[in-house]
Amino acid sequence: MEKQEFLELFEAATKAAKSAARGDGKSSSPAVSRCVEAMVRLKEAPESLACEMVIDRKYPQIGKSHGLFTEHKNPRIQSEGKILYSLWLRYLYATGRKQSSRARDRTVVKKEKKLVEEEMVSRTTGDSNRDKVREILHKSLSKVAVEMKEGVVSCDSWTVAASVESAMFERLGSFEGTQKAKYRSILFNMGDSSNQDLRRKVLLGEISGERLVTMKKEGMASNKIQLEVQNIKEKARVKEENRVKSMMMFQSDSMIMT
């Protein structure tokens, strides 16, 4: 990702967030979807680029606009905003590049420190079922670092787990609701020891939480299970073809005899 793309995405997220704030605030509104999609893309920005843009004096709106997202009335935008800014703040604190040296930005720095202090809190929702789902997702996503051994250093499994769970809750409702089977299907496939590819794609952002929620169980299944299902379907197809052929032959023989 280049600097220009980063700026365009941030501008798109800002405009969409403001539009959603003026509207009815429904999570299904186009403005909310555009805002969330832009923030999801911004999370893919390299650590070095994110740090550069957040502290660059040419773009003070990036650091000062966090309240627009983290305090938004729409829970989906608010959740993604906290995740995005927490990610950027971790980058900043990890590299030691803080804005505290700029006196005119003390208010911004104070708010940033508050966000960092609340980072652990933002991982929880206060709902025991939702928090349990996040823990299970985090445990599954944490396996990727061991399975891949490289290429996932900058990916935070807690951040991704929170994002995925938020998408699940937004689309499916409560874990104890009517979509409990879908929840179990997602959690099973994410934790399946033979399903490394799915975990990797989710952690690296190749499959977003929104897309994961809409995937059928066959699509989430490991390659091994998908192959087994395909073989079963193929056997069933051949069996049906043979049955139809047998019926046609029987009817043909009957007609000849008459």
Mind listing the pLDDT tens digit for each residue in 16-64? 988 888 875 565 678 888 888 898 888 888 888 888 887 777 777 777 7
If you search the block for the tokens 């990610």, which residue do you land on?
87
Mind listing the pLDDT tens digit for each residue in 55-108? 777 777 777 777 788 778 888 888 888 788 777 777 766 655 444 444 444 454
Domain boundaries, the chain: 3-94, 126-221, 230-257
Q: Which two tokens stand for residue 52?
A: 């550069």
> How far apart, in Å, are the Cα atoms of 120 and each of 44, 114, 158, 200?
22, 11, 10, 24
**Cβ atoms within 10 Å, residue 108:** 19
Determine the average pLDDT of the residues in 239-246.
Answer: 80
Q: For residue 103, what pLDDT is reported?
A: 42
Q: Which two tokens stand for residue 223?
A: 């390659």
On the question of pLDDT at 148 being above 90, the answer is no
Determine the average pLDDT of the residues in 181-207.
Answer: 88
CB 90 within 8 A of CB 42: no
